[in-house]
Amino acid sequence: MSIRIDPELVPAPDDGVRRKSGRRRHPLRPAWDEEPSRAGVTVKATVLVVVVLTVVFPLYTILLTSLSTRDSTIRAGGMMVWPDELTWGAYSTILGGGIVTRAMLVSIGVTAVGTLISTAVSVLAAYGLSRTGSLLHRPILFVFLITMFFGAGLIPTYLLVSTLGLIDSYWALILPGAVSAFNILILRNFFQGIDAGILDAARIDGAGDWRILWTIVLPMSKAATAVIALFYGVGYWNAFFNAMLYINDNTKWPLQLVLRSYVLQGASLPGSQDMGDVASGATTGLPVQMAVVVLAVLPIVLVYPFVQKHFTKGVIAGAIKG
């Protein structure tokens, strides 16, 4: 990550502002900004550290517990705070075939296919709607907008999905929420921000809309497209309610449902060696449960750093301009 320092923010060496004795001035502090008091800095730092810890600490104990042996979690009385006897045992248990492995594959498959479909459909629609004044432009835009304000409701949607025979089909996890008008409008906004001159030049050179989208618009809006794809991807990966509604067959469960049944509700994990052990309170060993949690977080934590820097732009473009 490269950091640019705004030259305006760097004060001249002799800025004439009174400083408290003995401390070096922060190089980024504007000349007019007075030095904060020591107590102020301490309070601020404490609050920020606590805030960061509330996120980091639970993730840390979960990861640590998943890497521990069941005996050490029983000795510790539950979640691990200090490392003791680390092992990959829990992971080899759940990834050695069985319901968690299958759920993982289902989640990966649904996320991959769903994200691909959603992103492709959204990019196309966003470009199709980005030229004001084209045929049917306003009515189609209106059709999209209405879905943002009025949802059809759970019951009719459920009945439709079951009428279409999609119960227990992976398509039920993808199709009902495949496109979001909101994401399309964010992308459309972004596309409209592209200088019209470039597009006109391409048109004069004989490029049609397909070619313009593929060779000019898409390469210029990689960041926005990546953010939208991530939004869809995270949505598919995290989808729990649709799976709960439409997937009754537990061999077809995605990871989130496995997480709910075997970790949150503590049902015993079929096919795991820990089955039948009720001593620790949870029927499946705690490390195994926490390993499932880690698997559910892992893809998000892995992809996140790459797309994270584009969020602010994408979110603001969508939220403020709308």
Partner 1 sequence: MTLTSERRRSVGDTQSHRPVPARRHVPLRVRMRRDSALLVMVAPAVVLLAIFAYVPMAGNVIAWQFYSPYTGFFNSPWVGWDNFERVLNNPQFLDAVQNTLAITAFQLVFFFPIPIALALLLNSVLSPRVRMTIQSIVYLPHFFSWVLVVTVFQQIFGGAGLVNQFLRSNGYAGFDLMTNPDTFLGLVTMQAVWKDAGWGIIIFLAAISTVSNEHYEAAVMDGANRWRRMWHITLPAMRPVIILLLILRLGDSLTVGFEQLILQRGAVGAEVAEVIDTFVYYQGVIYTDWSFAAAAGLMKGVVSLVLVLGANKLAHVFGESGVYKRA
Question: In the complex, what is the shortest distance from the CB of residue 233 to partner 1, in angstroms, rounded to a whole number?
Answer: 10
- For partner 1, give the closer residue by CB, 95 or 207: 207
Measured distance CA(253)–CA(259) in Å, rounded: 10
DSSP 68: B
- For partner 1, give the closer residue by CB, 53 or 86: 53
Cα–chain-centroid distance for residue 2? 24
Question: In the complex, what is the shortest distance from the CB of residue 221 to partner 1, in angstroms, rounded to a whole number?
Answer: 15
Measured distance CA(95)–CA(116) in Å, rounded: 26
CA dihedral 69, 75, 81, 87 (to 10 degrees): -10
Question: In the complex, what is the shortest distance from the CB of residue 175 to partner 1, in angstroms, rounded to a whole number?
Answer: 6
DSSP codes, 84-130:
-SB-SHHHHHHHSSSHHHHHHHHHHHHHHHHHHHHHHHHHHHHHHTT
Amino acid identity, position 43: V
Question: In the complex, what is the shortest distance from the CB of residue 21 to partner 1, in angstroms, rounded to a whole number?
Answer: 20
- For partner 1, give the closer residue by CB, 112 or 164: 164
Tell which residue, 209, 206, 203, has the closest CA to residue 125.
Answer: 209
Question: In the complex, what is the shortest distance from the CB of residue 83 to partner 1, in angstroms, rounded to a whole number?
Answer: 15
Determine how many CB atoms are found less than 10 A away from the CB of residue 68: 27
Measured distance CA(256)–CA(243) in Å, rounded: 8
The angle formed by the CA atoms of residues 88, 92 and 98, to the nearest 5 degrees, is 155
DSSP 260: I
Beta-carbon contacts of residue 175 (< 8 Å; ≥ 6 apart) = 166
Stated length of the chain: 322
- For partner 1, give the closer residue by CB, 13 or 156: 156
Measured distance CA(290)–CA(248) in Å, rounded: 24
- For partner 1, give the closer residue by CB, 220 or 234: 234
- For partner 1, give the closer residue by CB, 88 or 240: 240
- For partner 1, give the closer residue by CB, 13 or 305: 305
Question: In the complex, what is the shortest distance from the CB of residue 305 to partner 1, in angstroms, rounded to a whole number?
Answer: 8
Determine how many CB atoms are found less than 10 A away from the CB of residue 22: 5
Q: Helix, strand, coil shares of the chain as percentages rounded to 5? A: 65, 0, 35
Question: In the complex, what is the shortest distance from the CB of residue 55 to partner 1, in angstroms, rounded to a whole number?
Answer: 5
Question: In the complex, what is the shortest distance from the CB of residue 208 to partner 1, in angstroms, rounded to a whole number?
Answer: 6
